[in-house]
Amino acid sequence: MKQGFIGTSSDGTRGVRWLGAGLAIATIALGACQDPNAGGAPTKWTKAEPGSHEEVETLPSVPPRPSSLSVAALLEKAKEQFSPLPEAVESRNNPITEEKVTLGRMLYFDPRLSKGGDIACATCHDLEAFGVDVREEGGHRLATSLGFQGQKGDRNAPTVYNAGLYLAQFWDGRSPDLEDQAKGPVLNPVEMAMPDEATVVATLKAVPGYVEAFATAFPGQPDPITYDNMAKAIGAFERQLMTPGPFDDFLAGKLTALDEQQLAGLDLFMNAGCIQCHTGPAVGGTMFQKLGTVKPWEGVTDEGRFKITKAEADKLVFKVPSLRNITKTGPYLHDGSITSLEDMVQKMATHQLAKGELTPDELSSMIAFLGSLEGRLPEEYIAKPTLPGSGAVVQEPVEDEGEPAEGEPSEDEAVEDEAQPEPEPAGEPG
Ligand code: HEC
Ligand code: HEC
């Protein structure tokens, strides 16, 4: 196991619901592992097992599996590289509590944390859309997000799902963890653009519901509304943003979780060397690597980690991104410069590896495998909460008389409406 996954169970014990079934299946003959998803002609695995007859039929569209591994052997090999997603990524510095998560969820959706009152974390990291910015311009997704007054940043908004697993945050890894990261965008002049921490704290203190929620989330603290606690609450919420999917079911032992083509793609992913960089439970996020290790990458202006470390060797070095939900999180790369996943994969095969261009069959298997990394969204967990109404004046906490009212009608509605602003028409400053 790689170091750096704080509190992640290294044996993946959190996701073992399929294990029993998987072991049972694994002991059955593997010669004809039928694809449960294929309706018509069954696809079959070649299995050179003593005693078993040769089965080499494959659907015409599915390339023959490049190695002679059985599904069970492929699983064993995959388990050396990957592990199922945990339910949460714990932190010693910020233990997850329900109260913190409840507060963090509200803050995540609250545009009042921005100078214009119109941008929330959720604006650029839409949880219903796999945690990325889905706002469009000219019929396609923005390569880089629009922030305060329509200003464009210079990097693509990565997904917040499964991000707690990474060795560091941001494309260049300049932030150590989610709690530290959450302090950035609120004050970033091209993102939420709040002038300083004090203004953020004063804004939160003016909302009676937040006075209550911070006190509950950080019990025993004399002054619970602090900038750090805001970030901790958001971090606690993000630590459980996980998207387990078919690949996790497979890793947990369910041999039928991936179809024939996806299995071939997984085999290729491992054999071609993608796993040299994209590994671990997030299939990435465990290391920094140069963009263009084998062949230089044209047109990259961002110097990546060099900006942080000033070490010559860190020029064009970026965090290897997670490939979880990659079919849904384009456009790709730190600058959002690549829109097609096929194109992206071919570039990886030629610039990051000596493998060279994938054949059409290989490419479709690879894309199919990447599709198995698309997970299930935690719908209930990410449901947009009712935001606490703004108090016109700072109310003296009269007495400790119980809960604040849950749903405030008119004001909340106004807040809700602002939470997801319409995309800026067009033509913002370049
Ligand atoms: C205006 C759009 C915008 C807003 C608002 C925004 N982000 Fe981001 N976020 C980005 C961009 C762009 C990056 C990548 C920046 C970089 O790597 O330099 C990013 C990076 C991140 C990352 C790092 C993920 C990774 O792969 O390393 C996390 C986590 C994150 N944001 C969470 C948040 C939270 C929490 C908030 C609210 C407090 C927020 N963001 C507000 C655009 C935004
Ligand atoms: C030498 C390390 C390395 C190898 C090998 C490698 N990658 Fe990458 N990959 C990276 C880095 C670094 C990035 C991000 C660079 C950036 O954003 O500028 C990346 C980005 C990607 C992305 C876009 C992710 C996103 O969110 O934008 C995909 C898809 C991808 N790789 C797939 C693959 C596949 C498939 C293979 C094997 C054919 C592969 N990679 C091999 C290092 C590697």
Q: Which residues lie closer than 8 Å to 392 by C-beta, 6 or more apart?
A: none
Residue 184 alpha carbon, nearest atom of ligand 1 = 38
* 251 and 356, same domain (yes or no): yes
94 against 50, higher pLDDT: 94
Q: Which helix (H) or strand (E) holds 319?
A: strand 317-319
The CATH number covering residue 131 comes to 1.10.760.10
46 within a domain of the structure (yes/no): yes
Residue 382, CA distances (Å) to 35, 181, 183 in order? 32, 20, 21
DSSP letter for each residue of 15-68: G-TTHHHHHHHHHS--TT---TT--SSPP------TTSPP-----TTSPPPSS-
* 64 and 120 belong to one structural domain: no
Domain final residue, candidates 223, 242, 261:
242
Query: Do residues 186 and 233 make contact, with C-beta atoms less than 8 angstroms apart?
Result: no
* Known active-site residue 396: no
pLDDT of residue 390: 87
Is 195 a domain residue?
A: yes
Q: How far, in Å, CA of 182 to CA of 170, rounded? A: 11
**Can you give 165-226 as a three-state secondary structure string?**
HCCCECCCCCECCHHHHCHHHHHCCCCCCCCCHHHHHHHHHCCHHHHHHHHHHCCCCCCCCC
Same structural domain for residues 280 and 335? Answer: yes
pLDDT, tens digit, for every residue of 179-202? 999 999 999 999 999 999 999 999
Q: Are residues 80 and 130 in the same domain?
A: no
Q: Which residues contact 76 (CB under 8 A, 6 or more apart)?
A: none
The string of pLDDT tens digits covering residues 103-133 is 999 999 999 999 999 999 999 999 999 999 9
Same domain, 22 and 145: no
Task: Please determine, for residue 54, whether its predicted confidence score (pLDDT) is greater than 80.
Answer: no
Predicted TM-score of the model (pTM): 0.81
pLDDT at 371 over 90: yes
- Convert 263-285 to b/e letters by CB count within 10 Å (16 or more is b): bbbbbbbbebbbbebbbbbbbbb
Domain that includes residue 258, residue range: 13-85+243-371
395 in any annotated domain: no
Q: What is the distance between the alpha carbons of residues 298 and 263, in angstroms, rounded to a whole number?
A: 33
Are residues 153 and 259 located together in one domain of the fold? Answer: no
How many domains would you assign to the chain?
2
In a domain, 7, yes or no: no
Determine the pLDDT at residue 39.
32
Same domain, 233 and 255: no
For 89-182, list the strands marked E by DSSP: 136-137, 140-141
Predicted pLDDT at 63: 53
pLDDT tens, 303-328? 999 999 999 999 999 999 999 999 99
How far from the centroid of its chain's Cα atoms is residue 206's Cα?
A: 33
Nearest to 243 by CA among 382, 103, 79: 382
Note whether residue 403 is domain-resident. no
Q: Is the pLDDT of residue 66 over 60?
A: no
Residues 122 and 162 in one domain: yes
Look at residue 302 in the predicted model and tell me its pLDDT: 96
Co-location of 237 and 253 in the same domain: no
User: Once rounded to an integer, what is the mean pLDDT over residues 46-75?
Assistant: 55
Task: Please tell me the number of the ligand nearest to residue 354's CA.
Answer: 2
Q: Higher confidence at residue 145 or residue 400?
A: 145
Q: What is the mean pLDDT of residues 171-183?
A: 98
Choose the final residue of a domain: 322, 341, 371.
Answer: 371
How does residue 76 score in pLDDT terms, banded at 50, 70 and 90? very high
176 and 49 in a single domain? The answer is no
10, pLDDT greater than 90? no
Q: How far is residue 428's CA from residue 152's CA, in Å, rounded to a whole number?
A: 8
Going by CA atoms, what residue is nearest to atom 9 of ligand 1?
157
- Name every protein residue with a CB atom under 6 angstroms from any ligand 2 atom: 171, 272-274, 276-278, 289, 291, 293, 318, 320-321, 323, 326, 329, 332-334, 344-345, 348-349, 352-353, 366
- The answer to whether residue 110 is domain-embedded is yes
Q: Which of 191, 238, 260, 418 is catalytic?
A: 191
- Evaluate whether residue 107 is within a structural domain: yes
In a shared domain, residues 110 and 235: yes
pLDDT over 80 (residue 271): yes
Q: How far apart (Å, rounded) are the C-alpha atoms in residues 423 and 139? A: 12
Q: Does the residue 386 lie in any domain? A: no
Q: State the average pLDDT for the chain.
A: 82
Determine the Cα–Cα distance for residues 346 and 361; give it in Å rounded to an integer: 12
pLDDT in tens, 204-247: 999 999 999 999 999 999 999 999 999 999 999 999 999 999 99
Residues 289-310 have a mean pLDDT of 95
The pLDDT of residue 65? 53
pLDDT digits (tens, 9 = 90+) for 78-110: 999 999 999 999 999 999 999 999 999 999 999
Q: What is the DSSP letter of 333?
A: S
Report the residue among 141, 268, 269, 278 best suited for mutation to probe ligand 2: largest number of ligand atoms under 8 A from its CB.
Answer: 278
pLDDT for 67 beyond 70? no
Assess whether pLDDT exceeds 70 at residue 404: no
Q: Which of 242, 276, 307 is the last residue of a domain?
A: 242
Q: Show the tokens assigned to 316.
A: 């064009």
Q: Residue 423 CB: number of other CB atoms within 10 A?
A: 15
- For residues 195 and 411, the model is more confident at 195
Report, as an integer, the average pLDDT of 48-75.
57
What's the average model confidence in pLDDT over 265-285?
A: 98
Secondary structure of residue 411 in the 3-state scheme: helix
Give the pLDDT confidence of 322-362 residue by residue, as tens digits: 999 999 999 999 999 999 999 999 999 999 999 999 999 99
CA 430 to chain centre: 28
Please check whether residues 238 and 106 belong to one and the same domain. yes
pLDDT of residue 175: 97
Retrieve residue 76's tokens.
Answer: 């064993």
